Every structure is written in C-alpha cells, then in structure tokens.
Structure 1
Amino acid sequence: MQIIAEWSIGLSVVAEPYRVPDQPCRFGDDAGTVAVHWAGGAGVPPCSLLEAGQGFVAVRSLADYELYLDGLADCVRRCLPRPLIVLGDFNAYARACGNSRDDPKGVTLLDWAAGPPAH
C-alpha cells in the first residue's frame, strides 16, 4: 500500500495486503485477503463500498453522485441571487454533520458544499 501512495496510483486492487487500515479510501474483504484503494484527488472520483465478503470487495465510483451534485449546482445557480435553502436526503455521512464516521459521499458532499457554484 505504501508504494501505491508513493507512486500516486489512482485506483488499485491489492491481494494479500499486510493489513487494510480503516480509512475512507480503502476497503477490504472479510478475510483480509484483498483490498481496494483509491488515491482520490483530481480526475479520480471517490468510491463507495457496495459489498464485501470472503475474498471479494465490490466498489462503485462516485462519478454518478458527482454528476448529481453538478445538476444540483446548476439549479442553485439558476435560483441565485434569491435566498435559497437546499434540503434533501443525500445518503452521505460526515463527522462534520454529526455522524460517527465519514464516507466517500460525505466527503464529496462537504467538498461540493464548501466550494462556490461552478460557472
């Protein structure tokens, strides 16, 4: 995993890792025999865990979620400069919102909300 980080590899699968740290950018199977790691950053959409079991990990790119947020940003821009409240079930978890953990959608949503709407 160290080499993956040092080489800035965007997305990788690691067989028989020494261990799988509990981090939002890594998912491991139930037996600790395989892990998925993504670096994040520009051009690498975050992933979310679909399922993990004995010897397998299934993840999904959050590119669709980011497209959803882009569409929401378009709506926000159309409503400006009027006052606006954005509400919804974003199915995202972030410590900053009172949750016990961060998940990739939560991090993506916080990044989206912290930035100005794109033009």
Structure 2
Amino acid sequence: MGVLLVSAHRSGTGKTSLIAALLTQMAANGQRVAYYKPFSASPGNDADVSFITETILAGSGGPPVPDSLPLPQVSSGNPLITESRAQSIRQSLSEIQSAADVILVEVPDSLSPTGDAWSLPSDLAD
C-alpha cells in the first residue's frame, strides 16, 4: 500500500482537483484507491470530501472515506497533533489500508486559517 500526501501553501490551489484526477487515473489503471482528509475546517460537511466521495469514488467499491477531525487550535507550547488525534488518524488509515493499493491524503495548507505558517502538514507526514 502506498500513501501520497498532497499539500499546498494556501487554500484554493487545486489539491482536491489533483487528487480527483489521480484517483480517477489510478482506478482506471486497475488500482484500488482510497482518500482521506484527516483535518477539516468543517468536519462532517466538507465540500472536498463530499466531492471525492459522491463524484469520484461513488460506486468504486473502495473503503469508505474516514471522518475528518476539526482543525487544531494553535496554542503556544502545545503540539498541533495530540497523541489522541494521532491515534485516531492512525486508526483511520489502518481501517482503509487493507482495501486500497494507494491512499491519497489531503493535508491542510501550510498556512493556518489565521494566515500564519504552521507545521501541521509536516507533522502529519511524520
């Protein structure tokens, strides 16, 4: 199983479009594909997740897209990804890895919602 993390420096740069194209091409080539967006500003109502789920992966027979967690709050001295959140992300990946040859993971932008740089994308890569 391969995992591809897709990130960008800011929103609106085409991460979801790139992922949609890759998922479509990989599935057409016979690969079993999955998608995961571990963090979202609107978990349960994320437009990217809905688009991928309802348009790209609909009827593929692949694993369901795991639920996203709310974006972490930036606070001095506290890790962006707590151990409980890291465990939840690992569990979600574990649940879909056996049903997919490739998992495309859409990680948050390198700029936080407030416009400041943060380490969340690189923290997820670790």
* Larger helix percent: 2
User: TM-score normalised to the size of structure 1?
Assistant: 0.28
Structure showing greater relative contact order (alpha-carbon pairs closer than 8 Å, 6 or more residues apart): 2
Q: TM-score, normalised by structure 2?
A: 0.27
